[in-house]
Chains A and B, each alone.
Chain A
Amino acid sequence: MEQKCQDCDATMKILDDVVVGEIISCPDCGNEFEVSKIDSNNVTLSPAESVGEDWGE
């Protein structure tokens, strides 16, 4: 599957085993998108949360 980056319009490849909640990074601009919905072969992406001060392992 492929999707266009919402910011720079680059093509982002999405693997077949993608799951809801997974993060897709644009190879060109580096922006991150979260998979919010998967309908058969159609993947909906939303802007991912930015890294928070309390994020970590």
Chain B
Amino acid sequence: MLHYHLLNQLEKIGANNMSNRISIIYDRVRWEEKELFSAFEAKNIPFSKYDAKSLVLRSDDSNESIHSSFGSSILQRCISHYRGMLIAHYLESKNCLVVNSSNTSRICGNKFLSTLQFEESDIKTPLTLFSFSDKSAEDSVEELGYPSVLKPIVGSWGRGVVKLNDKDSAKALIEMRYNDDGLFSKIFYIQQHINRPPRDIRTVVVGDEVVGAEYRYSSNDDWRTNFSLGAKVEECPITKDLEEIVLKASKSVGGGILGVDLMESEDGFLVHEINNNVEFKGVSKFTKENIAYKIVDYVDNISKR
């Protein structure tokens, strides 16, 4: 039986949603979610919208009950990693197909697990040292040398990513993190600094296709290349080499709708991150085809299988 919150939510979005086979779950409507809503409408594909913040999910709900409200296929677009991953787990336990899957979300939402997956799948990635106290973190930096890069294992948009330029600043930044009471502040993910052009590459994958790619140039006052930090973007050609590596990386985490980020090192492309809840506004400037349409078609096709 559905909880009253869910029924209220269904009422708000229209009773006809009860029979839709596709849902989209989100917790913040960004440019991308608006594009996705419009794409479903433009393609005349009935879908239901759920704000994750309004959901109350019952452990004892039957698969049939969940299917009748969410459909059998769900596009998961939560900005909160744990919220989205746990909702995906819940829906999968009720025999729903979730894009991206909870397992893909688990790996991509955690840099520690992503790096392990890249190594296991023989995908070139920057050398990373993991340590679990301030002292061992300092040892890790000494081993990698300066500069090296300290990243939080969870989070995005370049938040908390710092370049450790020398011993004094490294010690201070490690101490600050270690004394923070954040859930992951005593887990240190320290990565080799890659000698690369002042840019990285963001690619967007939908299923088996790389639908777009862009160079992201760091701004004048920041070494990081995140679009959200003001990076300038430029079209990146999707070469055979790039496509092969991106699709291999995507497959290694289970595939779906992903943002694969790479750096151009002296030894070729290195994959440093895969985004499970990819923002594609920047890349859209350089694609002939509408990325939201591609995503909607992908979800529609798999929902019919």
A binds B: yes
Please give the residue numbers on chain A whose beta carbons come within 8 Å of chain B beta carbons, in ascending order: 17, 19-23, 34-35, 48-49, 52-57
* Total inter-chain residue pairs, C-beta < 8 Å: 61
* Structural contact, B182 and A56, CB atoms closer than 8 A: no
Of A21, A54, A55, which contacts B26 at CB under 8 A?
A: A21
Q: Is B33 an interface residue (CB 8 A)?
A: yes
Please give the residue numbers on chain B whose beta carbons come within 8 Å of chain A beta carbons, in ascending order: 12, 26-30, 33-34, 37, 49, 51, 53, 79-83, 109, 152, 154-157, 159, 182-184, 259, 275-279
Residue in B closest to A21 when the chains form the complex, CB atoms: B29
**A21-B28 CB under 8 A given contacts A52-B80, A57-B156:** yes
Residue in A closest to B276 when the chains form the complex, CB atoms: A57
* Structural contact, A57 and B183, CB atoms closer than 8 A: no
Q: Whole-angstrom distance between the alpha carbons of A52 and B159 in the complex?
A: 11
* Cβ distance A47 to chain B, nearest Cβ, rounded Å: 12
Q: Whole-angstrom distance between the alpha carbons of A17 and B34 in the complex?
A: 9
* Structural contact, A56 and B33, CB atoms closer than 8 A: no
User: What are the residues of chain A within 8 A of B183 when measuring CB–CB?
Assistant: 53
Q: Whole-angstrom distance between the alpha carbons of A26 and B46 in the complex?
A: 34
**A55-B79 CB under 8 A given contacts A19-B37, A21-B26, A21-B33:** yes
Q: A22-B34, A56-B79 are in contact. List 4 more A-B contacts (CB 8 A).
A: A20-B51, A21-B26, A49-B27, A56-B277
User: What are the residues of chain A within 8 A of B159 when measuring CB–CB?
Assistant: 56
Q: Whole-angstrom distance between the alpha carbons of A48 and B53 in the complex?
A: 11
Q: Whole-angstrom distance between the alpha carbons of A20 and B53 in the complex?
A: 12
What are 6 A-B pairs with beta-carbon distances under 8 A?
Answer: A19-B37, A23-B28, A49-B27, A55-B81, A56-B81, A57-B276
* Structural contact, A21 and B51, CB atoms closer than 8 A: yes
* Cβ distance B269 to chain A, nearest Cβ, rounded Å: 20
* Structural contact, B34 and A56, CB atoms closer than 8 A: no
* Cβ distance A22 to chain B, nearest Cβ, rounded Å: 4
Residue in B closest to A37 when the chains form the complex, CB atoms: B12
User: What are the residues of chain B within 8 A of A19 when measuring CB–CB?
Assistant: 29, 34, 37
Residue in A closest to B79 when the chains form the complex, CB atoms: A55
User: What are the residues of chain B within 8 A of A54 when measuring CB–CB?
Assistant: 80-83, 109, 154-155
* Structural contact, A23 and B29, CB atoms closer than 8 A: yes
User: What are the residues of chain A within 8 A of B49 when measuring CB–CB?
Assistant: 21
User: What are the residues of chain A within 8 A of B26 when measuring CB–CB?
Assistant: 21
* Cβ distance B4 to chain A, nearest Cβ, rounded Å: 18
* Structural contact, B29 and A57, CB atoms closer than 8 A: no
* Structural contact, A56 and B155, CB atoms closer than 8 A: yes
Residue in A closest to B84 when the chains form the complex, CB atoms: A54
Q: Whole-angstrom distance between the alpha carbons of A34 and B53 in the complex?
A: 12
